Amino acid sequence: MLYPDRVKQNIALLKSTIGDVSRLRPHVKTNKSREASHLLLEAGIQKFKCATIAEAEMLAMIGAPDVLLAYQPNEAKMHRLLALMKAYPDTLFSCLVDNLPTARKLSELAVAAGLVVPVYIDLNVGMNRTGIAPGGAVLTLYTELNELAGVKPMGLHAYDGHLRNSDLTIRTAECDSAFWPVQLLRETLTARGFAKPIIVIGGAQPSRFMLNGRMWNAALARLFTGIKAIR
């Protein structure tokens, strides 16, 4: 069930917390809905994250211009992602990688399909679920990705979902601490001659209630007043 007025109110509140709507990339795993996602599009939000190929296709079907599959695909899902890229050429699809063997397989399949897949390196900033720790291995992988045909390194991705302290001062400090090594990686890569990497990460200023890059997380929303969950 969708309550459009409430969804629009939440979207307006989200937009009011950030100066540039192009910085927003809500995750549709929360709403899993064409209708809710279309309301985001109508509000001027152009970039999205998703957890599954089905969600990626749903976004493409409603005309989303930019869709990031926020997981590293296995070979079966690589085939499906490449098929989506061919079926919906007006949508810019991308995905995550965190190791060279997976990137090589994606490169091989993309070259065979005549495509180039934009990729982001998935960083582990403390969630300990996916990704690699910020450091020298990331710099090496970024260089290796740049040398592979069929893939194009776009930037860095991190999810700070482990930072859930209801004290905004503490949470701000924790967010800043998690973000610092990501920022350092971007500066180092830029200094080495790469185009400035795009960073996809949760908001570091709790007053914005970005809630780690997702549209209102229900568990966190209960900790704060004035926030309605989008489901």
Sketch out the chain's domains with CATH numbers: 4-221 (3.20.20.10)
Q: How confident is the model at residue 173 (pLDDT cuts 50, 70, 90)?
A: confident
Which are the contacts of 145, defined by CB distance < 8 A and separation ≥ 6? 97, 103, 119, 121, 151, 152, 153
Contact (CB, 8 A) for 213 and 27: yes
Q: How confident is the model at residue 217 (pLDDT cuts 50, 70, 90)?
A: very low
pTM of the model: 0.85
Structure-token match 């900033």, residue found: 125
Give the chain's end-to-end CA distance (angstroms, integer).
8
The more confidently predicted of residues 39 and 205 is 39
Contact (CB, 8 A) for 8 and 201: no
Most confident stretch, 134-143, 156-165, 220-229: 134-143
Whether residue 167 has pLDDT greater than 80: yes
